[in-house]
């Protein structure tokens, strides 16, 4: 089935968010893409509601993982929802969730669902492979 114009626009909004926010750490540019009613639903503990919460996630992750870069592996839309499967890569050079820097390269996979309203991201649900990340950081044993 062909994508509608609105679905193409929504995908472009989410792609730009990944590029300017998590990959480049440009909070001001990312803020423009977030709706004033933005709500974040992820397993990451972050202070503050709404846009402030998203900014904290971006800032914390970029401080903990030097060179953090996100590659979108799959992206699709259904109306006002956009689903992205992505891989984030960086080097653990800062504290993350109480784990001191290890200097290890990390690869984190996740799937996020975005809801777009009025041309901005209003909601984000994220499922992050935290177990895989903790194994890479040496906090949990790796697979047998």
Q: How confident is the model at residue 109 (pLDDT cuts 50, 70, 90)?
A: very high
Do residues 66 and 94 make contact, with C-beta atoms less than 8 angstroms apart?
yes
Provide the pLDDT for residue 140.
85
**Do the domain assignments include residue 142?**
no
**Do the domain assignments include residue 88?**
yes
**Do the domain assignments include residue 99?**
yes
Provide the pLDDT for residue 48.
65
- Phi, psi at 93, each rounded to 5°: -110, 10
The domain tally of the chain equals 1
Of 114, 121, 52, 48, the residue nearest 82 (C-alpha): 114
Alpha helices by DSSP H, listed for 22-95, are 27-33, 50-64
In percent, the amount of the chain with pLDDT more than 70 equals 96
Do residues 109 and 84 make contact, with C-beta atoms less than 8 angstroms apart?
no
Provide the pLDDT for residue 97.
87
- Range of lowest pLDDT (35-44, 81-90, 126-135): 35-44
Q: Token pair 């777009």 is at which residue?
A: 116
**Which of 75-105 are b and which e, b meaning 16 or more Cβ less than 10 Å from the residue's Cβ?**
bebeeebbbbebebebbbebebeeeeeeeee
> Mean pLDDT of all residues in the chain?
93
Residue 20 has pLDDT above 90, yes or no: yes
Range of the domain at 68: 5-136
How far is residue 73's CA from residue 89's CA, in Å, rounded to a whole number? Answer: 13
Average pLDDT for 126-133: 94
**Do the domain assignments include residue 143?**
no
**Do the domain assignments include residue 62?**
yes
Residue 13 has pLDDT above 70, yes or no: yes
Q: How confident is the model at residue 126 (pLDDT cuts 50, 70, 90)?
A: very high
29-83 pLDDT tens trace: 888 999 999 999 987 766 667 898 899 899 999 999 999 999 999 999 999 999 9
**Which of 23-39 are b and which e, b meaning 16 or more Cβ less than 10 Å from the residue's Cβ?**
bbbebeebbebbbeebb
């Amino acid at each position: 089935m062909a994508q509608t114009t609105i679905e193409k626009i929504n995908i472009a909004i989410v792609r730009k968010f990944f590029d300017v926010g998590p990959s480049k750490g440009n909070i001001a540019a990312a803020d423009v893409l977030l709706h004033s009613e933005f709500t974040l639903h992820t397993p990451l503990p972050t202070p503050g509601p709404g846009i402030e919460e998203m900014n904290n996630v971006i800032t914390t992750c970029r401080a903990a993982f030097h060179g953090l870069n996100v590659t979108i592996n799959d992206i699709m839309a259904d109306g006002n929802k956009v689903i992205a499967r992505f891989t984030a890569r960086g080097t653990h050079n800062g504290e993350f969730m109480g784990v001191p820097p290890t200097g290890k390269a990390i690869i984190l996979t996740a799937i996020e669902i975005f809801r777009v309203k009025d041309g901005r991201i209003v909601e984000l649900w994220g499922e992050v492979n935290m177990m895989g990340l903790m194994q890479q950081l040496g906090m949990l044993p790796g697979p047998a």
